[in-house]
Structure 1
Amino acid sequence: MFQFRSIVASCCFLFAATSFLCSYVVAAETIESPADDQEHSFEGTLRVLSYNIHHAEGVDGKLDLVRIANLIKSVRADIVLLQEVDQEVARSESVDQPTQFGALTKMEFAFGKNIPLQGGGYGNAILSRWPIRDIQNHLLPNLENGEQRGVLSGVIEIGSAELPAIRVLATHFDHRRKDEERFQSAAKVTEMIIGTTEMPVLFGGDLNDDAESRTVKRLSENLVFTNQKPLPTIPVTKPTRQIDFIAYYPATAWKVLETTVLDEAIASDHRAILSVLEFQPNAK
């Protein structure tokens, strides 16, 4: 289980960790972060951001959580999927980054550790304007002793009559040239989404493969990606390939109003991708 600690003296955090559900699920965490005075209402659209933050180290070599948080706030994101997040890791000054991002953005958060690293943990995180429950961190297939990858899953309680809750999944697939692990991971994610939920699903992250890969095509058999034409996200200075994606399920649940790659080329070695989605309550 992870160790939690408060970083904002004026705030009171509630701590919780999921129990081990099976041999394929590992612990994840959520902590209630400071909320705005006004209640967050759902008005039919969601602004969803996916961002590989490179443990908040920019291409300028500076470790800066504030500029990541400011980017999130600047696009008024409702739900954020973060990859390459450190929790109390020595290389990033042993800062509890999930807790920091929750405090800086005033959003709820969940974190799933996939790799023990330098005294802490490394994995994915979800930020949300609304409460997150049923948090599970699922380990993905690991072939040939690669880095352990995972999918962080949580139910976001939006509380609207038309959309009470959605399930959100954040992931980061293997980076190596051979794609077998990514392909198996795509199959595992599909199994999770199709087999375990009746509510609308949002999925995203760094897939380390492009739209023409068999990995993305496998996911596309059931999920709908929010852009049909490539929107390059790497290399960050002059992007030529899209490997960061947002998708949803089922196909009739959402209408894509906009998808764009943000014009920020310093804070990380990836660019962030933002999708604005409109819920379709009467769709079948």
Structure 2
Amino acid sequence: MTYPMNLRKHIFHTALIFCGFFVLLTNLQAESTNTFRVMTYNIHHGEGLDKQVDLQRIADLIKQEKADIVALQEVDRNTERTGKRDFPAEFTRLTGMSCVFSNNWPVQGGEYGTAILTRFPITKREHSLLKMVGSKEQRGLLQAHVKMGDREVVVMNTHVDHRKTDEERLESIMEFATVIKKKAELPVIFCGDFNDVPGSPTYEQMSALLDDSWKLIGEGEGWTIPAEKPRRRIDYIWISKKGPIIPLRAWVPASEASDHRPLVVEFQLPTGK
């Protein structure tokens, strides 16, 4: 059927307007939310259940789980036990992500601490050492400010005391409370190995500061250790209370790359206007 010229122009212009509106709506929807994944993982200085140090399989697991932010504990740099390898540099190369590292404790001629990997731009890095209470291992808190669209998010990573007494862990959480208060205007994602289980004084004190992502969205026990047959939950991803970050789902992938299993949580962060 042939339409008059004026009618054809009208149909064409109407189609252009409709297409433009559809593209605008799609862009607005894309800008209104940002879905991303966070992993926390104690990598046991890269040593798996087979006693082999293998960073490639850890990097493969990170890519397999499509993690956008990764908090690693027990990270070596230039230590004798891991052949003087620079773990942060290797993870940067293997994952293609940016990395910040904190040295908490000198070990075997090198450094030992925590690291944060991310595909988002890092705008600021902070590191502080935590108070020691009768222990021989220095612990710390690593922070990275990352830019996600038009939002800035603070990612924190720690690995607190492992002893049966909880005195040092509780002291560390008092220090965390001070830091979190200073960041009150920004969304916080706090990852780490807390060496204590739900219901413990350590857990209850952290719960007063932040929300446990697994408790909000996880299904099952969420056990992360020991890796072969997990029976305890000591690895956590905490988020700001009543904040803009929304947990969508959480899971614990099976892996023998460390003596822990990683915890992964997928989040949504509203962005744009």
- For the aligned pair, the TM-score class normalised by the smaller chain equals 0.7 to 0.9
Give the Å deviation of 1:251.
2.5
Give runs of aligned pairs for residues 147-186 of structure 1, distance below 5 A.
Answer: 147-158=137-148, 160-161=149-150, 163=151, 165-186=152-173
In the superposition, relative to structure 1, how do residues 200 and 254 fare at CA in structure 2: closer, same or farther (>3 Å)? same
SS in structure 2 of the partner of residue 44 of structure 1: strand
Q: Is the 8 A contact 1:223 1:251 kept in 2?
A: no
1:249 aligns with 2:236: no
Distance (whole Å) between structure 2 residues aligned to residue 99 and residue 69 of structure 1: 12
Residue 176 of structure 2 is aligned with which of 189, 201, 213? 189
Higher relative contact order (Cα pairs below 8 Å, separated by 6+ residues): 2
Residue 212 of structure 1 is aligned with which of 199, 206, 210? 199
Range that drifts further, 41-50 or 266-275: 41-50
Q: Show structure 1 runs of 4+ deviating over 2 A.
A: none
In the superposition, relative to structure 1, how do residues 274 and 42 fare at CA in structure 2: closer, same or farther (>3 Å)? farther
Q: Is the 8 A contact 1:253 1:281 kept in 2?
A: no
SS in structure 1 of the partner of residue 226 of structure 2: coil
Give the Å deviation of 1:202.
0.5
Distance (whole Å) between structure 2 residues aligned to residue 243 and residue 253 of structure 1: 25
Q: Is the 8 A contact 2:76 2:110 kept in 1?
A: yes
1:140 aligns with 2:130: yes
Q: Which residue of 1 aligns with 2:226?
A: 235
Q: Is the 8 A contact 1:186 1:216 kept in 2?
A: no
Across the aligned residues of Structure 1 and Structure 2, the Cα RMSD in angstroms comes to 1.6
SS in structure 1 of the partner of residue 91 of structure 2: helix
Letter in 2 for 1:136: E
Structure 2: stretches of 5+ with no match in the other structure: 1-30
Q: Which residue of 1 aligns with 2:110?
A: 120
Give runs of aligned pairs for residues 1-284 of structure 1, distance below 5 A.
Answer: 44-158=34-148, 160-161=149-150, 163=151, 165-228=152-215, 230-264=221-255, 266-280=256-270
Q: TM-score, normalised by structure 2?
A: 0.84
Give the Å deviation of 1:257.
0.7
Larger radius of gyration: 2
Identity %: 40
In the superposition, relative to structure 1, how do residues 42 and 178 fare at CA in structure 2: closer, same or farther (>3 Å)? farther
Give the Å deviation of 1:113.
0.3
Structure 1: stretches of 5+ with no match in the other structure: 1-40
Distance (whole Å) between structure 2 residues aligned to residue 147 and residue 48 of structure 1: 27
Q: Is the 8 A contact 1:143 1:181 kept in 2?
A: yes
Distance (whole Å) between structure 1 residues aligned to residue 87 and residue 33 of structure 2: 30
Q: Which residue of 1 aligns with 2:21?
A: none
Give the Å deviation of 1:42.
9.5
